[in-house]
A and B are shown apart, each in its own frame.
Chain A
Amino acid sequence: MAEEAKSTVPVPKGASAPTGGVIVGQYPPPEPVTRRSFLLSWAGAAWGTFTLANAVGAAATLRFMLPNVLFEPPQKFKAGKLDDYDWDKPDQRYKTSQKAWLMKTHTDYNKKPAFIALDTTCTHLGCTPNVLYTENKIKCPCHGSGFRFTGVNFEGPAPRPLERYKVFIDPIDGQITIDKTKKFHYEKGEWEDRESYIDLSSA
């Protein structure tokens, strides 16, 4: 290292005598690195490529965590004919598979006969309540929220009635069809919406 330093650092004539001709601990002054010279250098290109590759890898990893295929029931399902269902009694046959209670009842505001589909998700914190037929109510086991069979809350911490799914009769095969992508909230007056029930007054 001393040999190298001696060859690159200019030594003034005559100054070599006192130090014995060896300069210890001195390096050639480094060339100043500016932002532009760094970005255009091989080191800049390498760091840039490394950063870019990491960014692409991180984005791809995030995308990997979002699956393309879901092993869940479809959001829209068929539920047979109107004659298969009772009046004013939540039917449980699609409770576990589709999270829906189906029944014939009367609309809340003008007592028109109607077929509705209730979402079985409690409006308090999302548990699935039980239908207690002998007590005429829907009761959530988690925190005790109670609902009438129409879905309207009357006890416990639930702040609003259960939600209703969009229901309609498929014009091709005449079956009840439930579309879970559209939901109707009582507190927003949406239960009066024509899509939230099947009108049975003509039936």
Chain B
Amino acid sequence: MAKKGELGRVWDYIVNTQVWRSIMRHGYPNTPRNRSLAVLANLVLHLHPLRLRKSGMRVRYTWCMGGITFFLFLELTITGLLLMFYYRPTAEYAYADITYLRADVPLGIMRELHRWGAHAMVISVWLHMMRVFMTGAYKPPREFNWGVGVILLLLTLLLSFTGYLLPWDQLAIWAVTVGTNMARATPVMGHEGPGAAFVVVPYSEGAGTISVVHQASDVRFGLLGGRFVSAATLLRFYVLHCVAFPLVAAFLIALHFWRVRKDGGISGPL
């Protein structure tokens, strides 16, 4: 790195300042040691192993589906965050804000980027699961990470479902009406589900019983915040969609990546 001239001297001065050396904990990555340190000392890269199998780099083996899913998760986080600047989750404003976003806000494609990205992510997680199944990558010692992956798949579907309601148009309201009606049939917790009729408390001596799980106390009621899809449901789904599910998903994604490394890296061909 022998640099000549004024620029070289300025460069040498900069890389020897305390500020630079406090950020960069190693020299220029042109030796095997510094290259290793560059990966180890980087927040993003340290998740990535220093060495990996050649098959782990083959797109025809991995389809890169996990990576694409993660990329889409980041894309959805960024576009979703930007949409939150203009969208208000209330019955009065939600639909108007969606049309406002499309017609009047600069970059009217932002909402479509979020929607297309969401569809693509649902597809890519399924394909990722299929690849892992086809290559037997769920087998020991990777059973636990398969379980984490199944929860992440469910979270992706829940994110997709809760986001479905937010445009607050006829499609959204009736789709969520239909979707949450299925929760009526949840065993024990849904008021029309098997077992719910047996969850009762005695009313008074010899005068019959009161059912505990009914239309205004079951799991569907908790999901909707009411007996039908209403403004309370919109706010509830918005908070789940923008805060609760992404937080849990981000934590589980970190765990998922970490376990990939701890379980021996991306699995090789059988």
| Chain A residues at the B interface, C-beta cutoff of 8 Å | 60-61, 63-69
What residues on B are CB-neighbors of A60 within 8 Å? 106-107
> Counting chain B CB atoms within 10 Å of each CB, which of A60, A63, A64, A66 scores highest?
A64
Complex CA distance for A65 and B101, rounded to whole angstroms? 11
Please determine whether A61 and B82 come into contact, CB atoms closer than 8 angstroms.
Answer: yes
Q: Could you list 20 A-B pairs, sorted by A, with CB under 8 Å?
A: A60-B106, A61-B82, A61-B107, A63-B106, A63-B107, A64-B85, A64-B105, A64-B106, A64-B107, A64-B110, A65-B85, A66-B106, A67-B86, A67-B105, A67-B106, A68-B104, A68-B105, A68-B106, A69-B100, A69-B105
Contact A64 B104 (CB under 8 A): no
Name the residue on B nearest A63 (C-beta).
Answer: B106
Q: Could you tell me the distance in whole angstroms from the C-beta of A62 to the nearest C-beta in chain B?
A: 9
In angstroms, Cα B110 to Cα A21, docked, is: 62
B86 neighbours in A (Cβ, 8 Å):
67
Closest chain B residue, CB of each to CB of A60: B107
A61 to B86, CA, bound (A): 13
Q: Tell me which residues across on chain B come within 8 A of A69, comparing CB atoms.
A: 100, 104-105
Residues of chain A with a CB closer than 8 A to B104's CB? 67-69
CB-CB contacts below 8 Å: B86-125 with A:
86, 100, 104-107, 110
| Nearest-neighbor residue (CB-CB) of B110 within chain A | A64
Question: How far is B103's CA from A68's CA once the two chains are assembled, in angstroms?
Answer: 10
A interface: dominant SS: loop
CB closest chain-B residue, reference A57: B78
Query: CA–CA, A63 to B107, complex, Å?
Result: 8
Tell me which residues across on chain B come within 8 A of A66, comparing CB atoms.
106
CB of B21 to closest CB in A, whole Å: 26
Which chain B residue has the least Cβ–Cβ distance from A66? Answer: B106
Do the beta carbons of B82 and A64 come within 8 Å of each other?
Answer: yes
Q: How far is the CB of B8 from chain A (nearest CB, A)?
A: 15
Contacts of B107 in A (CB 8 A): 60-61, 63-64
Residue of B nearest to A65 (CB): B85
The residues of B that contact A61 with a CB separation of less than 8 Å are 82, 107
Q: Complex formed: what's the CA distance from A137 to B82 in Å?
A: 46
Sample of 13 more A-B contacts, CB < 8 Å, known A64-B82, A67-B104, A69-B105: A60-B107, A61-B82, A61-B107, A63-B106, A64-B85, A64-B105, A64-B107, A64-B110, A65-B85, A66-B106, A67-B86, A67-B106, A68-B105
Q: How far is the CB of B80 from chain A (nearest CB, A)?
A: 13
Most chain A CB within 10 A, of B82, B85, B104, B106, is at B106
CB-CB under 8 A from A67, the residues of chain B are 86, 104-106
Query: Nearest Cβ distance between residue B26 and chain A, in whole angstroms?
Result: 20
Bound-complex Cα distance A67 to B101 (A)? 10
Please measure, in the bound complex, the distance between the C-alpha atom of A46 and the C-alpha atom of B89, giving whole angstroms: 40
Interchain nearest-CB distance for A169 vs B (Å): 34
Cβ distance B31 to chain A, nearest Cβ, rounded Å: 12
Please, which residue of chain A has its CB at the minimum distance from the CB of B100? A69
Shortest beta-carbon contacts, A-B, top 7:
A69-B104, A64-B107, A63-B106, A68-B104, A64-B106, A60-B107, A64-B82
Bound state CA distance, A60 and B109, in angstroms?
11
Cα A69 to Cα B103 in complex, Å, equals: 10
A61 and B81 CA atoms in complex are apart in Å by 11
Closest-CB distance, B245 to chain A (whole angstroms): 24
For B105, list chain A residues within 8 Å (CB). Answer: 64, 67-69
Q: What A residues does B85 contact at CB under 8 A?
A: 64-65
> With the chains together, A61 CA to B82 CA distance in Å?
8
- With both chains docked as a complex, state the minimum distance between the C-beta of B32 and any C-beta of chain A, in angstroms: 10
Task: Give, as a whole number of angstroms, the nearest-CB distance from A2 to chain B.
Answer: 16
Q: How far is the CA of A67 from the CA of B86 in the complex (A)?
A: 9
Residue of A nearest to B78 (CB): A61
CA distance A60 to B105 in the complex (A): 12
Complex alpha-carbon distance, A163 and B86, angstroms: 33
CA distance A66 to B86 in the complex (A): 11
Contacting residues, chain A, for B100 (C-beta < 8 A): 69
Which residues of the other chain, B, contact A64 by a CB distance below 8 angstroms? 82, 85, 105-107, 110
What distance in Å separates the Cβ of B99 from its nearest Cβ neighbour in chain A?
A: 11
